[in-house]
Amino acid sequence: MVTVSIEKVWKIYGRIPAVKDLNIECANGSFLSILGPSGCGKSSTMRMIAGLEHISAGEIRFDGRRINDLAPKDRDVAMVFENYALYPHKSVYENMANPLKLRGQAEVRIRERVLAAAKLLEIAELLDRRPQELSGGQKQRVAIGRAIVREPKLFLFDEPIAHLDAKLRAHMRGEIRHLQRTLGTTVIYVTHDQLEAMSMADRIAVMHEGVLQQLATPREVYNKPVNAWVAGFVGEPAMNFLDCTLEETGGQVRFVHPTFRIAVTPEQARLLEASNRAQGIRLGVRPDALTISLAKSKEESMTGRIFVNELLGGDMIVDVDLGPERVRVKTSTDFAGNEGDVCYITANRDKWHAFSKETGRTIF
Amino acid sequence: MASRDIVQYQAPLSRAFGWFSAVFLALYLVWTLLPILVMFISSFKDLLEAFKIPPVGDWAGVTLFFDFTPTFKHYENLFVNLNFSQYMANSLIAAGGSAAISVILGSMAAYSLSRIDFHGKSDLLFWIISTRMAPVVAVMVPLYWIFRELELVGTLPGLILAYTTFNLPFAIWILKGFFDDVPYAIEEAQMVDGATRFQAFLSILPLVGPGIGAVVVLCILFAWNDYLFAAIIGSGGAKTLSVATRELVQPQNIQWGPIMAAGVVTTLPMMLLGLVIRRYLVAGLTMGAVKE
Ligand SMILES: Nc1ncnc2c1ncn2[C@@H]1O[C@H](COP(=O)(O)OP(=O)(O)OP(=O)(O)O)[C@@H](O)[C@H]1O
Ligand SMILES: [Mg+2]
C-alpha cells in the first residue's frame, strides 16, 4: 500500500517524446486507471513506475520517497505484462512461485500462496503445465497469478485482460476489482478499453499522445469531459459532434446548423457568452441523449434521413444523416423507422456539451 | 523454432528428386564412412593382416578385408608404452577448459551486447569477429613470442588461453544471436519479481541452452582437432593427441597400427560428445512464452 506521485515526468525515446510532463497522484489503496488509445504512452508510464525504463525527466515518488534510481526489485511492485512474459521453461506452478522464491520464502508458505491464487483464478488444474501448453486467456491468468501471490505495495496491470473473450473479460473485471478491494493494495491499471476503466477505477487518467488530458472519477470523465477529445474517446457508442454557429434572437441563444436551429438553456447561454464564441462551436451529444421519432414534435428538433439501423440486443442504434454529417442515436428496438425515412431528432439539453471548435476545450 | 510437419504433395518431379537424393546420400555416406571403417578395423589388425590387399578388380577379395584375428596390441602399445593416457588428458583439459571459459565469458559478453545499446556497438562487434578473420598461421609467430615472454609455452594454461582467444569471438557471436531471440519481457518480469540483473541473466540461460550446446561443441571440436597450436604453443609440456599421433610418423618407420588405434582414440570421444549433446541442441523452448 503506497501513494504514488508522478511529477512532471517525461519519457523520451531518442528524439521522440512518448510521455510529456505527466502529473498524476494515486492515493494509497486506490484504483487508478490509465486510459488512452494505442501508442499514447501508457506502457511507457507503467514501465517507468516499475523501474524497467529510465525516467527521462521528472520524479516518481512512493509515499514521498523518490524512486527514480531504485532497482525494480527494490520497489516492491508486482506487474502483469501486456504480453504475459511467463517463463517458458518453468511450469505454471514454478512461474507463480518465482517471486516468492526470489524473496526467500519458505516452501510450505509458497505452496499455500500459489494454491490459493490458482484457486482464485481457476487455474488450479493447470499448475503442472508449461506456458506453451496454455491458451491465451489461461496464460494471462497465470500472469495475474504470479503478481498476486505476493503482497506487494503496488500492483501494475498493463492491459491484463485485453486478450480474453468478452465473457471471461467481464468476469475478470469483477475479480480484479474485488481482489483490490479485499487486499486494499494500490493498483494502477492500464487499458485502452474505456469500458474497463469506467467500470473498475476509482479515478481515471485519460492520456492522449503522451499528454494527460483529464484525471478524475469515471463519472466526471463521462459527464464532464475537459475537452472534445476525451468526450469522444469515452463512451460507447461515441459522442456525436456537430459544427455549429451561434445565433441570438429575442434574448434566445441558438445553435445553428444547416439542418436545425435549437435554443440552449439560459445557463448555457451565459457560459457561451463568457467564452470566445467567434471561434465557432462544436456541439457534442451522446447517442443516448438524443431522441428519434418519425413524427415532428413541438420541440425544436433536427431533421434528418435514416441511413441505417443496427440492432444491439436490447437497444437499437440508428445512424441518421444530418446534411453532410451523420449522427448515431440510441433508441428502443420498437422504433419503426426504415432506411431512407425522414426523421426528427430532439436533444436532451441538460446532457449536451459545447466545445470550442479551435481548442476543443469544454464550454459546458 | 519447433518444427512442424510439412504438407507434401506428390509430383513426378519431386519423386524423381527423392530418388536422386537417396542415391546421392548413399554415395556420400560411403565416401565419408568408409575411411572411418577402415581405420576402425585396421586398428585391431596385426600389421601383416592389415596389408593383405586383394588385386585390383577382384571384388570378391573384399572378404579378405574382414578376415583377421582381432588384437588389442596397438591399443596396449599406445597406453602402456607411448604414454597416450597423458596426451589424452591434455587434450581433454585443453579442449574442455577453453570451451568452459569461452562459454562463461562468451555468454556474459553476448548478453551485454544483446541488451545494452552504446556508441560504437556495431564496430565493437565487428572487431570481435575480425579477430577470427586472419588465418591461424598468420598470427602464430607474434602469438608464440608473446606466449614465450609470458612463459606460457609448453603449458596447459597456455594452450587453453590460445584456444580461448580463438573460441571466444565465435562464442560471443553465436550466443548474441540466441540472446537476441529471447524476449526482454522475460527478464523484466524476473526483475520485477525481485531478481537482480545477474539473476535475471542466469534465469534466461536455459532459453539459450541450444546456443550454449552448439558453442560447447564447436569450441571443443576446434581445440580437439587442432594441430598447429598444440604443436607450437603446447610443444613439450602439453602434448595433445593430435601431436602425439603425428609423432608416430617417423622417417624410417611409419607405425601404421598405433596410428590407426590413435585415430580411433581421437575420434570416439567426439562421437560420444555428439550423441550426448544432441539432446540439448534441440531448440523450441521459447515457444509460447510471449504473445507475438
Ligand atoms: N523502446 C522504444 N523506443 C522508441 N520508441 C518507443 C519505445 N517504446 C515505445 N515507444 C514509442 O512511444 C510511444 C508510446 O508507447 P507505449 O508503449 O507507451 O504506448 P501504449 O500507450 O502502451 O500503447 P499500446 O496500447 O499499443 O500498448 C509510441 O509512439 C511508441 O512508438
Ligand atoms: Mg502498451
DSSP A228-270: HHHHHHSSSSPPEEEEEEEEEETTEEEEEETTEEEEPPHHHHH
pLDDT at A279: 63
Beta strands in A27-107 (DSSP E): 31-35, 57-62, 65-66, 77-80
Q: Is the pLDDT of residue B282 over 70?
A: no
Q: Which domains does chain B have, with CATH numbers?
A: 2-71 (no CATH), 82-286 (1.10.3720.10)
**Which residue among B194, B206, B288 places its CB closest to the CB of A131?**
B288
Q: Contacts of residue B189 in chain A, CB cutoff 8 Å?
A: 79, 81, 85-87, 146
Cα A220 from Cα A3, distance rounded (Å): 22
Cβ atoms of A246 and A277 within 8 Å: the answer is yes
Q: What is the dihedral of CA B181, B183, B187, B189, to 10 degrees?
A: -160
Banded model confidence at residue B209, pLDDT cuts 50, 70, 90: confident
- Partner residues linked to A159 by β-bridges: none
Chain B contact for A85 (CB, 8 A cutoff): yes
pLDDT at B291: 39
Please give chain A's pLDDT, 364 residues, in tens: 899 999 999 999 989 999 999 999 999 999 999 999 999 999 999 999 999 999 999 999 999 999 999 999 999 999 999 888 999 889 999 999 999 999 999 999 999 999 999 998 889 999 999 998 998 888 988 999 999 998 899 999 999 888 788 888 888 899 889 889 988 999 999 999 999 999 999 999 999 999 999 999 999 999 999 999 999 999 989 999 999 988 888 888 889 998 889 999 999 988 888 886 666 889 999 999 999 999 888 888 899 999 999 998 889 999 999 988 999 999 999 888 889 999 999 999 999 999 998 888 999 8
Between positions 256 and 285 of A, the ones with CB within 8 A of B are none
Chain A contact for B189 (CB, 8 A cutoff): yes
Percent of chain B with pLDDT over 70: 92
Q: Contacts of residue B199 in chain A, CB cutoff 8 Å?
A: 102
Q: Contacts of residue B118 in chain A, CB cutoff 8 Å?
A: none
- Strands in A353-356's sheet, in edge-to-edge order, are A260-263, A252-257, A240-249, A281-285, A353-356
Q: Contacts of residue A146 in chain B, CB cutoff 8 Å?
A: 189, 193
- What's the average model confidence in pLDDT over B183-193? 92
Mean pLDDT, chain B, as a whole number?
A: 86
Cα A141 from Cα A84, distance rounded (Å): 9
Nearest CA owner, ligand 1 atom 31: A39
Burial class (CB in 10 A: 0-12, 13-18, 19+), A257: middle
CATH classification (class only), A240-356: mainly beta
**Higher-confidence position of B202 and A120:** B202
Query: A45 CA distance to ligand 1 centroid (A)?
Result: 10
pLDDT at B287: 38
Cβ atoms of A143 and A131 within 8 Å: the answer is no
State CA B213 to chain mean position distance: 11
Taking CA atoms, A19 is separated from A57, A191, A197, in Å, by 10, 16, 20
User: Relative to the alpha carbon of B117, which ligand is closest?
Assistant: 1
**Which residue among A51, A73, A146 places its CB closest to the CB of B195?**
A73
Candidates 3.30.450.40, 3.30.300.30, 3.30.420.40, 3.40.50.300; correct CATH number of A4-229? 3.40.50.300
Helical residues (DSSP H) of B44-183, grouped into ranges: 47-50, 62-66, 73-76, 84-115, 121-130, 136-149, 156-180
pLDDT tens column, A53-89: 999 999 999 999 999 999 999 999 999 998 889 998 8
Nearest CA owner, ligand 1 atom 5: A13
Q: Is the pLDDT of residue B263 over 70?
A: yes
Nearest CA owner, ligand 1 atom 11: A18
Q: Is the pLDDT of residue B2 over 50?
A: no
Burial class (CB in 10 A: 0-12, 13-18, 19+), A291: middle
Q: Among A6, A11, A42, which residue has the most ligand 1 atoms within 8 Å of its CB, making it the best to mutate?
A: A42
Q: Contacts of residue B191 in chain A, CB cutoff 8 Å?
A: 51-52, 71-73
Residues carrying CATH 2.40.50.140, chain A: 240-356
Asked if A86 and B203 come within 8 Å (Cβ–Cβ), the reply is no
User: Relative to the alpha carbon of A211, which ligand is closest?
Assistant: 1
pLDDT at B257: 87
Q: What is the DSSP letter of B69?
A: -
Among A125-129, B135-139, B182-186, B284-288, top mean pLDDT goes to: A125-129
Cell of B157: 594454461
Mutate to test the interface with A, among B182, B193, B286 (most CBs of A within 10 A): B193
pLDDT at B289: 41
Interchain CB contacts (distance < 8 Å): A and B: 85
Cα A158 from Cα A34, distance rounded (Å): 9
Nearest residue in chain B measured CA to CA from A151: B193
Cβ atoms of A352 and A285 within 8 Å: the answer is yes
Cα B94 from Cα A284, distance rounded (Å): 79
The single-letter code of the amino acid at A219 is: R
pLDDT at B280: 63
> Minimal CA–CA distance to A258: which of A247, A272, A244?
A244
Q: How many angstroms away from the CA of B109 is the closest CA of chain A?
A: 21
Mutate to test the interface with A, among B178, B184, B192 (most CBs of A within 10 A): B192
Q: Is the pLDDT of residue B1 over 50?
A: no
Asked if B194 and A133 come within 8 Å (Cβ–Cβ), the reply is no
Q: What does residue A260 show for φ and ψ, rounded to 5 degrees?
A: -160, 165
Cβ neighbours of residue B216 under 8 Å, at least 6 residues apart? B99, B103, B277
Chain B contact for A114 (CB, 8 A cutoff): no
Q: How many angstroms away from the CA of B110 is the closest CA of chain A?
A: 20
**Which residue among B183, B196, B286 places its CB closest to the CB of A73?**
B196
Asked if B203 and A88 come within 8 Å (Cβ–Cβ), the reply is no
DSSP B205-235: GGGGHHHHHHHHHHHHHHHHH--HHHHHTST
Banded model confidence at residue B53, pLDDT cuts 50, 70, 90: confident
Chain A contact for B286 (CB, 8 A cutoff): yes
Cβ atoms of A331 and A294 within 8 Å: the answer is no
Residues carrying CATH 3.40.50.300, chain A: 4-229
The single-letter code of the amino acid at A263 is: A
Asked if A163 and B194 come within 8 Å (Cβ–Cβ), the reply is no
Nearest CA owner, ligand 1 atom 17: A43
- What's the average model confidence in pLDDT over B144-158? 92
User: Relative to the alpha carbon of A47, which ligand is closest?
Assistant: 1
pLDDT at B238: 86
**Which residue among A72, A84, A89 places its CB closest to the CB of B291?**
A84
A285-288's contacts with Cβ under 8 Å and 24+ in sequence apart are A285/A239, A285/A240, A285/A242, A285/A327, A285/A347, A285/A348, A285/A351, A285/A352, A285/A353, A286/A235, A286/A239, A286/A240, A286/A351, A287/A237, A287/A239, A287/A240, A287/A317, A287/A327, A287/A328, A287/A329, A287/A330, A288/A330
pLDDT at B279: 65
Residues with CB under 6 A from ligand 1: A 13, 16, 18, 36, 38-44, 82, 192
Query: A86 CA distance to ligand 2 centroid (A)?
Result: 17
**Higher-confidence position of B222 and B68:** B222
